[in-house]
Amino acid sequence: MEYVIEMLNITKEFPGIKANDNITLQLKKGEIHALLGENGAGKSTLMSILFGLYQPDSGCIKIKGQLVKINNPNDANRFKIGMVHQHFKLVETFSVLDNIILGTEECKNGFLVKENARKQIMILSKQYNLNIDPDAIVKDITVGMQQRVEILKMLFRDNEILIFDEPTAMLTPQEIDELLKIMKSLAREGKSIIFITHKLNEIKMAADRCTIIRKGKYIDTVNVQNVSKEQLSRKMVGRDVNLVVEKEICEPGEIVLKVENLNYSKRGVSKKILSNINFEVKQNEIVCLAGIEGNGQSELIYAITGMLNGYRGKITLNNKDITNSSIRQRNLEGIAHIPEDRHKYGLVLDYNLAENMILKNYFTRDNQKWGFLRFDYIYKQAQILIKNYDVRSGQGVYSKVHELSGGNQQKAIIAREINSNCDLLIAVQPTRGLDIGAIEFIHEQLIQYRNNRHAVLLVSLELDEVMSISDRILVMHEGQIVGNLDPKKVNAEELGLYMSGSKRGVNDEK
């Protein structure tokens, strides 16, 4: 059989780690081929080699049976290979149109000509139901729309082999459904797709075949319709994974967080982003804020953590008014925060792992003496956290955070925040970008945190996670809490009605 792409016996080593160890991947024309593996298994490295960002130490690449050398992304584009990266490669201050044509611009008499490109982009947008606004500025559009821009960049260049690197990690459930439809449509058109993921549901929904790698090594290639999710997870992790969250019955204690009459609107805009928000989170309970993205959850969390100014209302932590407290004061009073944007708010990417572990408490007596950091102690503590939370990196505590996979960056933040042992843990999309084994572990950690007389405020777009881990669900719609639900007494379909605004009633658990 002739494959459109063959990556044969690929090996790639970095300082301290063999990212790819004799891996083979073969892609058929018109198929969606999933590449499955844990965080740090080597998936992105393998695809970066195919796209010309890295060179393999050994092994070869064939395109339609012909041996090729891909030295850089320009070579990849000449071979009609395109890639949507996990963290998008867009210029935020440029328009959608300018981002799509960047590097392939048409000029006439020294001037940039965009009309032909605009027409072609709108035809592609309509053909694949991508529905973009070519004149919108990228920083002003949603993550889902930014991803559509990345897809159009590939289609505009007439790429035939499309690589999607963790494409659903930052998307809402609705956006994920739309993306999978788009991928299937592209495959029907004859495009060949490599789909990097660790979400088993999506593999079962969209992929034809699946190649599994574990800790840099090739494990197996299977026909998706012939294997179960349990079999896939066992191949990926190397052990049986418990897909059902087990937890004890919640017995709430004292009130830890109390939010009263919280209102917020942007200056000069009459419509409120947050309207009369009232709720409590108690010891020994996990309260989940559920809702479709963009309904005020982010602004509410920013207000509680001190990242948002200009709101009205009252926020109390352990009976102490923190409404006007600084971010550091709130942290010291007992708030830990796993943010939704790990790069913007959670990490300093050019710092190493140990330095990132002390971002919130470098000034404490344990970490410094006479104004100087106690690096021996800091590195020793970081090594313990990295081991306990299985944060994988080439050089351990000395690894720069930007060198880690997205999932391992997330695990580093979770390790730091849970280890802070604060009274209130605010966890926003804590399992975003994590593989199924890591998700199982993080859920166990959140439940253990709750069982140790702490309060957890969870924000999640994953309905399965909301239903399985929450003790109580607060549903947000258009800046209001429209449901206060007991997950044992509501199903996913009913929860969806609340999230869409079709159903309301804030005391439904009673």
CATH number of the domain encompassing residue 208: 3.40.50.300
**Statement to judge: residues 195 and 100 lie in one domain:** yes
**Statement to judge: residues 84 and 148 lie in one domain:** yes
Average pLDDT, the chain: 89
For residues 22 and 217, the answer to whether their CB atoms sit within 8 Å is yes
Q: Give the C-alpha separation, 59 to 55, whole Å.
A: 10
> If DSSP codes are grouped into helix, strand and coil, which group holds residue 54?
coil
**Statement to judge: residues 209 and 288 lie in one domain:** no
pLDDT category, 193, cuts 50, 70, 90? very high
Average pLDDT over residues 272-299: 92
Residue 132 has what pLDDT? 86
Closest CA to 473 of 426, 506, 439, 503: 506
- Give 348-414 as a DSSP string: -TTSBHHHHHTTTTTTSTTTEETTEE-HHHHHHHHHHHHHHTT---SSGGGSBGGGS-HHHHHHHHH
Residue 245 belongs to some domain of the structure: no
Residue 191 has what pLDDT? 92
Average pLDDT over residues 375-402: 92
| pLDDT higher at 168 or 203 | 203
Whether the pLDDT of residue 86 is over 80: the answer is no
Residue 163 belongs to some domain of the structure: yes
Model confidence pTM above 0.85? no
Residue with tokens 């140790």: 452
pLDDT category, 495, cuts 50, 70, 90? confident
Residue 246 belongs to some domain of the structure: no
Residue 438 belongs to some domain of the structure: yes
Q: What percent of the chain clears pLDDT 90, i.e. is strictly above it?
A: 55
**Statement to judge: residues 353 and 496 lie in one domain:** no
**Statement to judge: residues 98 and 182 lie in one domain:** yes
Average pLDDT over residues 175-185: 86
**Statement to judge: residues 204 and 285 lie in one domain:** no
> If DSSP codes are grouped into helix, strand and coil, which group holds residue 302?
helix
pLDDT category, 506, cuts 50, 70, 90? low
Q: Report which residue type is found at 472.
A: R
The CA-based dihedral angle spanning residues 226, 228, 233, 239, taken in that order and rounded to the nearest 10 degrees: -100
| pLDDT higher at 267 or 57 | 57
Q: Give the C-alpha separation, 81 to 50, whole Å.
A: 8
Whether the pLDDT of residue 492 is over 80: the answer is no
Supply 293's token pair. 């993205």
Residue 242 belongs to some domain of the structure: no
For residues 186 and 426, the answer to whether their CB atoms sit within 8 Å is no
- Return the minimum-mean-pLDDT range out of 107-116, 171-180, 277-286: 171-180
Whether the pLDDT of residue 142 is over 70: the answer is yes
> If DSSP codes are grouped into helix, strand and coil, which group holds residue 200?
helix
Average pLDDT over residues 287-315: 92
Q: Give the C-alpha separation, 339 to 341, whole Å.
A: 6
HSE, side-chain direction, 13 A CA sphere, residue 399: 22
Residue 407 has what pLDDT? 81
Whether the pLDDT of residue 187 is over 90: the answer is yes
Residue 248 belongs to some domain of the structure: no
pLDDT category, 497, cuts 50, 70, 90? confident
**Statement to judge: residues 109 and 156 lie in one domain:** yes
pLDDT digits (tens, 9 = 90+) for 340-349: 888 889 999 9
| pLDDT higher at 462 or 336 | 336
**Statement to judge: residues 174 and 262 lie in one domain:** no
> How many C-beta atoms surround the C-beta of residue 276 within 10 A?
13
- Structurally, the chain folds into a number of domains equal to 3
**Statement to judge: residues 232 and 294 lie in one domain:** no
Residue 44 has what pLDDT? 86
pLDDT category, 355, cuts 50, 70, 90? very high
Residue 247 belongs to some domain of the structure: no
Residue 329 has what pLDDT? 94
Average pLDDT over residues 393-413: 89
- Kindly give the interhelix angle for 375-388 and 406-419, rounded to the nearest 10 degrees: 110
Number of H helices, E strands in the chain: 16, 24
Domain encompassing residue 397: 342-421
Which residues, at least 6 apart from 50, have a Cβ–Cβ distance to it below 8 Å? 5, 7, 61, 70, 76, 81, 163, 194
**Statement to judge: residues 189 and 221 lie in one domain:** yes
Residue 508 has what pLDDT? 43
Task: Give the domain-ending residue among 366, 394, 421.
Answer: 421
pLDDT category, 509, cuts 50, 70, 90? very low
Residue 510 has what pLDDT? 37
pLDDT category, 507, cuts 50, 70, 90? very low
Supply 329's token pair. 């004061």
Residue 12 has what pLDDT? 94
Residue 131 has what pLDDT? 83
**Statement to judge: residues 365 and 416 lie in one domain:** yes
Which residues, at least 6 apart from 488, have a Cβ–Cβ distance to it below 8 Å? none
**Statement to judge: residues 413 and 434 lie in one domain:** no
Task: Give the domain-ending residue among 213, 237, 261.
Answer: 237
Task: Give the domain-ending residue among 212, 237, 262.
Answer: 237
Task: Return contacts of 367-376, CB within 8 angstroms, 24+ apart.
Answer: none
Residue 244 belongs to some domain of the structure: no
Supply 167's token pair. 């494409």
